Amino acid sequence: MKRLTMLLTVMSLLLLAMGSSRYDRLAKPPSYLEPFVSGNTAFALDLQRRLAQPDGNLIYSPYSLTAALALAQSGARGSTEQQIASSLHFPAESELRSALARIRTSLTEAGKQKQVELVNASGLWAQQDYGFGSDFLQRAREAFDAEVQLVDFGSRFDATRGQINSWVGRQTRSKIGEALPPGILSADTRLVFVNTLYFKGQWASCFQRNHTRKRSFQVSPSHSVRVPMMRQSQFARYAESEAAQVVELPYVGARLSMVVVLPRSVDGLGQLEQQLSWNQVTNWAATAQVRTVDLELPRFKLSSRLPLIQPMRGLGVTDAFDPVKADFTGMTPRRPLWIYFLQQCAIVEVNEEGTVAAAATSGGGGCSSQPRPATFHADHPFLFIIRDNHTGVILFLGRVTNPAQS
């Protein structure tokens, strides 16, 4: 019997650029989104621990992967559906679709701000004669806002690959050029789903390029590299604990921000990642105070192409990738249909115009003196989170162990 397969591909892009002047308090997610956001953060951190290599940089989009697998789950049944829901900490189906719809609306609104561009898009390419249910295709369009096209993989799989790559290129402003490499599709492919996330934001406060200097970044206790280190003294929301320092750096309008988490010790990133939780993230957000920060951050550019089947298996999603056990009869009664390929491409660039800083004024009413400026010098491996402050959802999550490597 001719092998029937399904391709589920997730693409993500983050490009950070340029600066402005407004600064708002980091918000908790609305109560109606908290079950989804807390679960999605737990999933993001679980996956981060599986993707991170001891000495490697990393960038990926938890949100883009979640959006892709939520669509796949909507067409899954039985244990296949249950495993995806459990591993990604999904709430009930109606709550999940409502949360994703609200988040898409929030991201669209954020992208309408001046000096901010934020675009999230989904595309679905289905084999035209394979019997995909009209209810599934309609659900993809309406509940997941996906652009649906019926194609012929059998005789035109390579032409369809070019069509999909062109679509991804348009959605990511040409930052991801070849999402699907040659050979990844075949005449046996039956479905391709792509989710893209593109962000370009001007920072609320820019570094001056003439203040950037080559400085040492301590990759490990015994090894350092010389990298361009950006520096400025600014008002920013800052928190600290025995294990780490945390600073929040908003973009224009303060709807989105980067949270940089710097371990106290040079070799403390691995332990920090293992211990990081939703409660810890929310506690940092709740205790952060606006204060003067003497800030140093390396200029860096990272990219990743991540195969995700093995990490997702490790989190408990197994049946979806098994041609015998996979149950996607919510898409089509024809079997077998399974996910044979799952990947994500992502890129992040941080520089003087688009990476750091919030300009804010801290009133000192009732205080006899200004607190001593906090020192936040990211001169050793650190973690960063890019989140939508209105919903609390994590859009991108990464680690920098060596900014000299891309």
Q: Distance between alpha carbon 150 and the CA centroid of its chain, in Å?
A: 29
* pLDDT given for residue 9 in this prediction: 37
Q: Classify residue 275: in a domain, yes or no.
A: yes
Instruction: Mark whether 219 and 162 lie in a shared domain.
Output: no
For 23-38, give the DSSP string. --PPPPPPTTTHHHHH
The Cα–Cα gap between 129 and 151 comes to 9
Q: Classify residue 189: in a domain, yes or no.
A: yes
Instruction: Mark whether 190 and 213 lie in a shared domain.
Output: no
Instruction: Mark whether 285 and 378 lie in a shared domain.
Output: yes
* pLDDT given for residue 372 in this prediction: 66
Q: Classify residue 46: in a domain, yes or no.
A: yes
Instruction: Mark whether 140 and 29 lie in a shared domain.
Output: yes
Q: What is the pTM of this model?
A: 0.86
The Cα–Cα gap between 95 and 73 comes to 14
CA 367, 370, 372, 373 torsion-angle sign: positive
134 burial type by CB count under 10 A (0-12 exposed, 13-18 middle, 19+ buried): exposed
Instruction: Mark whether 329 and 267 lie in a shared domain.
Output: no
20-65 pLDDT per residue, tens? 233 344 456 788 888 899 999 999 999 999 998 888 888 888 999 9
Contacts of 281 (CB under 8 A, 6+ apart): 41, 385
Instruction: Mark whether 25 and 157 lie in a shared domain.
Output: yes
Nearest to residue 228, comparing CAs of 278, 163, 299?
Answer: 299
Residue 134 is given by DSSP the state H
Q: Classify residue 36: in a domain, yes or no.
A: yes
Q: Distance between alpha carbon 163 and the CA centroid of its chain, in Å?
A: 25
Instruction: Mark whether 80 and 136 lie in a shared domain.
Output: yes
34 strand-pairing partners: none
Instruction: Mark whether 19 and 76 lie in a shared domain.
Output: yes
Instruction: Mark whether 171 and 294 lie in a shared domain.
Output: no
CA 404, 57, 393, 247 torsion-angle sign: negative
Q: For residue 119, what is the domain's CATH number?
A: 3.30.497.10
Instruction: Mark whether 337 and 306 lie in a shared domain.
Output: yes
* Contact assessment for residue 287 and residue 244, using Cβ atoms and an 8 Å cutoff: no
Structure tokens at 11: 């693409």
Instruction: Mark whether 124 and 177 lie in a shared domain.
Output: yes
| Segments of the chain scoring below 50 in pLDDT | 1-26, 354-370
Q: Classify residue 405: in a domain, yes or no.
A: no
For 394-406, give the DSSP string. EEEEEEES-TT--
Q: Classify residue 65: in a domain, yes or no.
A: yes
Q: How many domains does the chain have?
A: 2
* pLDDT given for residue 361 in this prediction: 17
* Contact assessment for residue 298 and residue 378, using Cβ atoms and an 8 Å cutoff: yes
* Contact assessment for residue 359 and residue 235, using Cβ atoms and an 8 Å cutoff: yes
* pLDDT given for residue 26 in this prediction: 46
Alpha-carbon distances of 228 from 201, 206, 264, 349, rounded to whole Å:
21, 15, 21, 13
Domain boundary among 313, 328, 349: 349
> Would you tell me how many other CB atoms lie within 10 Å of the CB of residue 256?
23
Instruction: Mark whether 176 and 308 lie in a shared domain.
Output: yes
Q: Classify residue 406: in a domain, yes or no.
A: no
The Cα–Cα gap between 295 and 207 comes to 10
Helix axes 93-111, 62-74, angle to 10 degrees: 140
388 strand-pairing partners: 256
Residue range of the domain that includes 389: 209-298+354-400
